[in-house]
Amino acid sequence: MENELVDLVMADTRERMARALEHVKAEFATVRTGRASSSLIEHLLVDYYGADTPLKQLANFSVPEPRLLVVSPFDKGAMAAIEKAIGNADLGLNPSNDGNVIRLTFPSLTEERRKSFVKLVRAKAEEGKVALRGVRRHARQELENLEKEEGLSSDDIERLEKVLDKMTQDEVAIVDTLLAHKEQELLEV
């Protein structure tokens, strides 16, 4: 019984850490580099016939050139609403519409803008690390409860805490690697 509960706590911790890491990756994807990427706009909400609808449900995206994103709406009647949503998103992009598709040209980032994006990415990485540490803290509390309720030995708790620390360090190292890659991408001219 004890081992099953411990296994459940550890499995839950792994799952929560994986979700926290996925969240960090998703947050990084929303930060604009000099390259065109649909991840910047696909989650924008468009007022589509009175309902807020994610843009990825209304259009296809393509990147024919490194600094050009083409949005092809399924319904040409939604073109104006999509343009408005992109314009209101404050991404520094000016949509141009030819009646069939919307073209978004990504301007080169200024040095100042790059540095502000690097700060933003570092803040998002730190939030991810804090979330991972919170997952570890929660797991430790669960293990302490098992120690009290189920009579786990303090040696077992100590061993499991070392495993938790190792898991946390591994996940934080992944966040650091992702951060270094994103910073390099942002500072690339």
Measured in Å, how far apart are the chain's first and last C-alpha atoms?
A: 58
Other residues' Cβ atoms within 10 Å of the Cβ of residue 17: 22
**Residue of 123 and 117 predicted with greater confidence:** 123
Question: What is the band of 140 on the pLDDT scale with cuts at 50, 70, 90?
Answer: very high
The alpha-helical segments, DSSP class H, found in the chain are 2-29, 79-88, 111-150, 154-187
User: Which residue, among 166, 144, 164, 168, has the nearest Cα to 154 in the 3D structure?
Assistant: 144
Amino acid 50: pLDDT? 86
**Residue 120 structure tokens:** 């933003």
Q: Indicate the average pLDDT of the chain.
A: 87
Average pLDDT of the segment spanning 14-34 = 87
| Statement: residue 1 has pLDDT above 60 | no
Mean pLDDT, range 68-75, rounded to an integer: 90
Tell me the backbone φ, ψ of residue 46, rounded to 5 degrees. Answer: -110, 135
pLDDT of 82-117, one tens digit each? Answer: 888 888 877 777 888 888 889 988 777 788 888 888
- Tell me the one-letter amino acid at 155: D
Break the chain into its structural domains and give their ranges.
Answer: 2-30+110-187, 38-105
Segment of 35-44, 65-74, 115-124, 163-172 carrying the highest mean pLDDT: 163-172
**C-alpha 172 chain-centroid distance:** 15
165 vs 186, residue with greater confidence: 165
Segment (H or E) for 55: none
Instruction: Tell me the percentage of the chain whose pLDDT exceeds 70.
Output: 97
Of 109, 76, 90, the C-alpha closest to 189 is: 109
Q: What is the pLDDT of residue 171?
A: 95
For the whole prediction, is pTM greater than 0.75? no
Do 2-30+110-187 and 38-105 come out as alike in CATH topology?
A: no
The residue type at 69: L
User: CATH topology for 38-105?
Assistant: Gyrase A; domain 2 (3.30.1360)
* pLDDT number for residue 2: 59
Tokens of 59: 């259009």
pLDDT in tens, 31-65: 777 677 777 788 888 888 888 889 889 899 988 88
Q: H or E element: which one contains 96?
A: strand 95-97
Residue 4, pLDDT score: 84
Domain 2-30+110-187 in CATH 3.40.50.300? The answer is no
Q: How far apart are CA 83 and CA 96, in angstroms?
A: 8
